[in-house]
Amino acid sequence: MASVKLLTVFFLLNCLSSFVSCLFFHIGDTERKCFIQELPDETPLIGNYWTELYDTQRDEYLPTPQDHRIHVSVKDPDDKVVLSRPFPSEGTFRFTSHTPGEHQICLQPDSSQPAGGLLTVHLDIRVGEGTYSYPELAVKDKQTKLALRVRQLIEQVEYIKRGYSYHRYKEEHFRLTNYNTNMWIFWWPVIRSLYVVLFIIWHTKSW
């Protein structure tokens, strides 16, 4: 019983900590950087980013040219394109997952003129309940602090439920993979032995 409670606490902390993650990386003019984000189904994701140009010769950061753009593409676990278009050098991209699993997010400089250095990307990923700006919602919907807090708790519960569902989905996928692997391990020696027997019979008859 204690182990179940410990596992539950660990899972909840893992869900809450996955609301926000920050990345920092360099991209060359013709380079493409991709990373994987695991998402339950029907889960929103927002990427807030800003860029600057890193001059390798002078070892300093410079403002990104205004005409410089960055192309963002997202594919779901079925390799379907969820998002694919250029964005300004600073801004926000967003999408909602419809299939649980690993989503591939790729960023690539998209400009007719090379930047002449490394493009430095600062990326802030927000997932699930972390995508909502509750102060803005309070102003927009004219909600009280209590109503806003209740809404926030409901969103957190929904995200945790989707997280549990995704966890069960991964367990089922793992069991299926394990079953198929075990079946292959079981049948491969049988098939190999049958092949050897047939080969011996054929070879004997050929004499």
Q: Which of these three, 131, 154, 175, is where a domain ends?
A: 131
pLDDT confidence tier of residue 16, bands split at 50, 70 and 90: very low
Of the ranges 96-100, 129-133, 172-176, 201-205, the best mean pLDDT one: 96-100
pLDDT confidence tier of residue 137, bands split at 50, 70 and 90: low
Tens digits of residue pLDDT in 49-103: 998 888 777 778 888 887 888 999 999 999 999 999 999 989 999 999 888 888 9
CATH code of residue 62: 2.60.120.510
Both 110 and 180 in a single domain?
no
Q: Measuring CA to CA, which residue among 84, 90, 157, 165 is closest to residue 122?
A: 90
Sequence-distant (6+) residues with CB within 8 A of 85 are 71, 72
- Domain with 168 in it: 133-207
Tens digits of residue pLDDT in 152-167: 677 777 777 777 777 7
- pLDDT average, residue stretch 117-124: 85
Say how many domains are in the chain: 2
Both 26 and 125 in a single domain?
yes
Both 81 and 160 in a single domain?
no
Q: Model-level pTM? A: 0.63
pLDDT at 2: 44
